[in-house]
Amino acid sequence: MLRLYEQTGEVTPKSYFSNNKGGEMLKSSTCIIMGETGKPIGMFCVNMNLSHPFPEIIKTLMPDTSQHHSFDMTENFSSSAGDVVEQALNHAVIEVDADDSVNLKGRNKAITKVLFDNGIFELKEATN
């Protein structure tokens, strides 16, 4: 894929069949990750093992609705670090305000702890 890009400038993701070391068939997809300067900085590759029954493969792509549990995992698809910080702050405020054990005097400290525990201060823009 990288060689094709170098020869033609083509960056359209490609899907193809391949085999793993054990000879099992894979459905593979690859795309080039472009940097801010327009040059490739990496490649994203996904390989799906087709030796398993197809219904089993599909099950891995869907949530198990028979369990009737809510999904606690959330992801942030923000386009900037500032958005990530703002969303994390809003979430922390809601979480702390819902906790009756936190008094008004300890509110800001509790919010800061939630943000710290979630790793938000690892972002450069977070401390501002």
CA distance 64 to 71: 10
Tell me the CB-side half-sphere exposure of residue 61, using CA atoms within 13 A.
6
Domain boundaries, the chain: 2-65, 74-126
Q: Which residue has the higher pLDDT, 123 or 95?
A: 95
| Mean pLDDT of the residues in the chain | 84
What is the model's pLDDT at position 75?
Answer: 64
For residue 37, pLDDT beyond 60: yes
For residue 71, pLDDT beyond 60: no
For residue 112, pLDDT beyond 80: yes
Please, are residues 81 and 124 in contact by the beta-carbon 8 Å criterion? yes
Query: In a 3-state reduction of DSSP, which class is residue 46?
Result: strand
Lowest-pLDDT range of 29-33, 49-53, 59-63, 93-97? 59-63
Q: Which two tokens stand for residue 33?
A: 């990750």
CATH of domain 2-65: 3.30.450
What is the model's pLDDT at position 59?
Answer: 83
CA distance 36 to 92: 32
C-alpha distance from residue 95 to each of 61, 86, 114 (Å)? 30, 14, 8
